[in-house]
Structure 1
Amino acid sequence: MQLSAPASPEAKPISQLFQTAFTDAATAEEGTLVAGLVTALLAAPAEAHVQVFTAQQDQALTGCILFSPLHYPQDTRRVALLSPVAVHPDWQGKGVGSALIRFGLEQLRLDGTEIAVTYGDPAYYGRFGFRQVTAQELPPPHPLSQPAGWQAMTTADTSTDAASFAPLQGPCTCLQPFDDPALW
C-alpha cells in the first residue's frame, strides 16, 4: 500500500471513492452529500490549506482522508479537522483507514499543526489518541447534534498524553464547505 499527499489530487476519482464508500455504508443520499462536500473541499484555493492523503494499491485508489483548518482567532494554535474519511468497500477492514489516519496525523505534526479534531465514532477514533471534548474545551463551528462524537488530540510528541491540551478560545470558523449547520 502506498500512502501519499498528492501534489494535485484528482477530484473526480476521490469524489467517486467517497460516493462509493458512503453509499455502501449508509445511503445513496449520504454518498452524494459527502462526495459533494469532498468536491468542494478539493476545489478550495491553495491558501485554504486543505490537506489530502491517499492510499493506493496497484495504482488503484483505496482510501482517502482530508484535513482542513479550523480557525480560532483568539488562539494562536493551529487546528485541523479530520473529515471526511473513506476507504473503498473492497478494502475496508484491511488497515487502510488506520494507516491513512496515522500517516496524516504524522504529516500534520511535521507541518506544525498542534491539534487534530474529528467528529465521528469515539470507539474508532479513540484508537488513534482522540478523546471526547466538550464545546467549552474546543468550540465547534456550529452546535453539535451528536456531542459525543466531538473529539480532539494534540499532534505533539506521541510519547506524551496525546489527548491533553489546554482549551481553545472560541469562536471557531471553518471552511465554507463545512459551514452548514446540518453537517454538525
Structure 2
Amino acid sequence: MKNSIYQGGRHQEIIQLFAETFPFEEDKKEGSLIGKLAKDLLENTSNQYLKVFISMHEGVISACVIFSKLRFKQNHTNAWLLSPIAVKPTARGKGIGTNLIKYAHGVLRNGGVQIVTTYGDIRFYSKVGYKPISTKIIQAPLTIGCPKCWIAQSLENHEIKPITGKTYCVEAINDTRYW
C-alpha cells in the first residue's frame, strides 16, 4: 500500500469507493448518502478547505480519508474534521485505514494543523489517538445525538484548550443526516 495526498482526476473512483463501502456497514441508504457526501466534498468544496488522502494498491484506490476545515466564530485555531473515511471491504483488518489516518495526521501536522476532530466510533478512532471531547471544549457544528462520538486529538501533543463560540463546517457536511 502506498499512501499519498490525492492530486485529483479520480473523483468517480473515490465516490464509488464510499458508496460501495458503506452498505456493508449498515444499509444501502447509507452507502448512497456517504457517496453523495464524498461527491459534494470533492466537487463543491474549495481546495483550501479540503484535504484528501488515499491508499493505493496495484493502481487501485483501496482507502480514502477526507478532512475538511473547521472554523470558529471567535478563534483562529487550525482545526480539521475527519469525515468520511472508507476502506474497501476486501482490504479491511489489515491496518490500511489506521495507517492512512496516521499518514494524513503527519501531513496535516507538518502543515500547521493543530486539532483534528471527528464524529465516530471511539473503538476505531482511539487506535489513532482520538479521545472523546466535550462540546464545552469544542462545540460540534451541528447538534449531535451521541456525545461520546464527538472525538478529537491535538496534533501538537498537548491538551486541547476550550474554544468558545460557534463552530462551522464546510457546506457539504453541514447537514443533520451526517451528524
Distance 1:86 1:95 in 2: 12
SS of the counterpart of 1:170? coil
| Residue 9 to residue 108, structure 1, CA distance change in 2 (3 Å) | farther
Q: State the aligned residue count.
A: 179
The corresponding residue for 2:176 is 181
Distance 1:9 1:83 in 2: 20
Where has structure 1 moved over 3 Å in runs of 4 or more?
45-48
SS of the counterpart of 1:42? helix
The corresponding residue for 2:166 is 171
Distance 1:76 1:60 in 2: 37
Residue 181 (structure 1) shift: 1.9
| Residue 45 to residue 154, structure 1, CA distance change in 2 (3 Å) | same
Residue 135 (structure 1) shift: 0.9
Residue 9 (structure 1) shift: 4.7
**Cα deviation per residue 1:64-109 (whole Å; 9 max; x = unaligned)?**
0000011012112111000101000110001110011000111110
Residue 110 (structure 1) shift: 0.7
Contact 1:71 1:173 in 2 (8 A): yes
Distance 2:50 2:138 in 1: 20
Distance 1:18 1:45 in 2: 17
The one-letter amino acid of 2:113's match is T
- Specify which structure has the higher proportion of strand: 2
SS of the counterpart of 1:182? helix
Which is worse superposed, 84-93 or 169-178?
169-178
Unaligned runs of 5+ in 1: none
Residue 45 (structure 1) shift: 4.3
Distance 2:74 2:9 in 1: 32
Unaligned runs of 5+ in 2: none
CA RMSD of aligned residues (A): 1.2
| TM-score, with structure 2 as normaliser | 0.96
The corresponding residue for 1:136 is 136
Residue 38 (structure 1) shift: 0.3
Distance 2:124 2:5 in 1: 23
Matches within 5 A, 1:29-40: 29-40=29-40
SS of the counterpart of 2:77? coil
